[in-house]
């Protein structure tokens, strides 16, 4: 019998996943997996002055790409590995974990194939993701005079925080409704 000691992750509905060797069946019910996990997973390792989740980050990006359905599909799903693993690893830490980054990219490619998106992840998604990170950090993190988000990561995205102060349930529901609209299925 496989256990968590085998490097597996237990997801929201009790399924054991190997994040470094995902199967197509691991993406079954991925909309609910993403909604449940990402609406409870806080950005910046919970170090924000107000709660702000990965689901809110994704929904903010969806709004940013209003009018472009494929980019909105990429926007809502660009954190799919985080949805599968329950971890939102900060960018500076991720850079020191090459195996994690490889697995993350592989999961995105696998999701793209299963959901008829054209891989690889569009460069504009990565650019806006970084800009949103800077915007969120400037708005939600305590200021540190020795750390300059803009100098390190570039200009903030011209976007708004998504429903700051909303409940986890409201964000989860918004995520599911948006997913349904974008993909036509849950």
pLDDT at residue 110, as a whole number: 97
Helix (H, G, I), strand (E, B) or coil at 88: coil
Q: What is the rounded distance in angstroms from the CA atom of residue 117 to the CA atom of residue 139?
A: 32
List average pLDDT for each run of 10 residues in the chain, which is 186 residues long: 77 90 95 96 93 98 98 98 91 88 95 95 97 97 93 96 97 98 93
Q: Which of 128, 138, 141, 142 is nearest to 57 (CA)?
A: 128
Answer yes or no: pTM beyond 0.85: yes
Residue 87: the pLDDT is 87
Q: Would you state the pLDDT for residue 3?
A: 66
Q: Give the DSSP letter string of 52-71.
A: -BHHHHHHHHHHHTTT-HHH
Instruction: Count structural domains, the chain.
Output: 1
Instruction: Assign residue 34 the CATH number of its domain.
Output: 1.10.3210.10
Name 181's Cβ contacts closer than 8 Å, sequence gap at least 6: none
Range of the domain at 80: 4-183
């Amino acid at each position: 019998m496989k256990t968590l000691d085998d490097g597996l992750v237990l997801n929201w509905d009790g399924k054991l996943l190997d994040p470094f060797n995902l199967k197509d069946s691991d993406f079954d019910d991925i909309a609910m997996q993403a909604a449940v996990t990402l609406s409870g997973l806080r950005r910046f390792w919970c170090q924000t002055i107000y709660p702000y989740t990965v689901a809110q980050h994704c929904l903010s990006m969806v709004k940013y790409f209003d009018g472009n359905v494929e980019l909105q599909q990429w926007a809502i799903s660009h954190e799919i590995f985080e949805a599968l693993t329950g971890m939102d690893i900060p960018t500076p830490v991720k850079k020191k974990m090459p195996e994690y980054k490889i697995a993350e990219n592989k999961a995105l490619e696998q999701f793209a194939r299963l959901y008829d998106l054209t891989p690889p992840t569009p460069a504009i998604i990565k650019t806006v993701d970084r800009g949103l990170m800077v915007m969120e950090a400037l708005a939600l993190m305590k200021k540190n005079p020795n750390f300059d988000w803009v100098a390190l990561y570039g200009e903030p995205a011209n976007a708004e925080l998504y429903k700051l102060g909303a409940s986890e349930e409201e964000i989860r529901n918004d995520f599911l409704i948006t997913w349904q609209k974008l993909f036509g299925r849950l």
